[in-house]
Amino acid sequence: MKEEEKIAVALKYEVEKGTPEVVAKGRGRLAELILQIAREHNIPIKEDHKLVKELYKLELNKPISPELYYAVATVLAWAIRLNKRLQEKVLSQIKKSE
């Protein structure tokens, strides 16, 4: 059985714009590069094969479609919680070292 080609999509959300946008997308080697850049910049990576396939169909730098609002909001909420926990952990370590 052939392994399915890797797909990656990068989202950007700015409160002022109100709706997340797809800012990068790729398959194969380009997908690997998107993921590598995310890791290098400590950007949370969430695997959701069904959602990424839908997001991949969208145009770059355009608001996501309303049908995807809930799924994307769930991912953004996950990333926000993850970042908050990381921030709390870092602050805790700083206080311990003082």
Q: What is the CATH number of domain 7-97?
A: 3.40.1690.10
Instruction: Give pLDDT, residue 93.
Output: 77
Domain ranges of the chain: 7-97
Could you tell me the pTM of the whole model?
0.79
Instruction: Indicate the SS3 state at residue 65.
Output: coil
- Residue 69 — pLDDT band, cuts 50, 70, 90? very high
Highest mean pLDDT among 20-24, 39-43, 79-83, 84-88 belongs to 20-24
Identify the DSSP state of 19: S
CA nearest to 55, candidates 31, 14, 22: 22
More confident residue, 8 or 44: 8
Instruction: Give pLDDT, residue 2.
Output: 60
